[in-house]
Amino acid sequence: MLACRPGAISRATPKGTIVRELPCRCWECIDCGPQRKRALMALARDGKPDTLLTLTVDPANFETKEEAHDALKHRYSDFVEMARKKWPKTRVEYLGVIEATKLGWPHFMRAPFIPQRSISRYFEKHGVGKIVDIRKVRGTRQVAAYVAKYLSKKPARFGDGKRYVRSQSWESQEAKAWRQENVKPHLWQLWDRAAFLVVEHLETFGHKFFECPSGGWLSPPIFGGSR
């Protein structure tokens, strides 16, 4: 298990400059791992899935796990594309959790108008892999339990390093609006050192930081402030 490695973010606002600790966001980190897991559970619930689908590949067909995973991913997006055309009303969305051990890929889907049998048949016909499991999901508690189960297994990462994949419109409009309002990464500067070192560094440029009760450090504006 890793402990969190240091990092910080800073941002200049009209009210002053803010510096905050930045979590590493690693799945293996003892601080960040559980948080990421909770966030993924919330994301899974928010998509209001109605189906849980598990696909697996036959390892004999591929040289490496990465290759197998890639094939599965492409086959899956072909399916989504086909389903969106064939059932335009249904607005297929998905969230998939990657599982390395069995080269399985459990997916939550929101596809209320597609019969389960049609999904099964598609993958039988086109599959690099096959469906081992397809079931109705009932209630948000069940969704959270499934996510917890898959994430407790050995961490799997492929290519871009993600542990899950999702379609663009998985989240509800309200959740998306909240996130866009509250997380604006482009406004923050990223530092690969601990927050107190960033504070020290900025103080050499004339900032005077104090610690905020709500976390982080704040320095009043140094040039042309309203004092």
Q: Catalog residues that contact Zn ion under the rule CB under 5 A.
A: 4, 23-24, 29, 31-32
What residues contact 166, with CB distance under 8 A and at least 6 apart?
43, 47, 93, 94, 95, 96
CB of 93 to Zn ion, least distance (A): 29
CB of 34 to Zn ion, least distance (A): 10
Cβ proximity of 145 and 110 under 8 Å? no
Q: Which is nearer to Zn ion, 14 or 185 (CB)?
A: 185
CB of 162 to Zn ion, least distance (A): 17
CB of 163 to Zn ion, least distance (A): 15
Q: Which is nearer to Zn ion, 76 or 164 (CB)?
A: 164
Sign of CA dihedral 57, 62, 65, 66: negative
Q: Which is nearer to Zn ion, 23 or 220 (CB)?
A: 23
Beta bridge partners of 158: 162
Cβ proximity of 193 and 118 under 8 Å? no
CB of 22 to Zn ion, least distance (A): 9
Sign of CA dihedral 181, 184, 187, 190: positive
Q: Which is nearer to Zn ion, 6 or 112 (CB)?
A: 6
Q: Which is nearer to Zn ion, 30 or 187 (CB)?
A: 30
Cβ proximity of 26 and 2 under 8 Å? yes
Residue with the two structure tokens 């050499």: 204
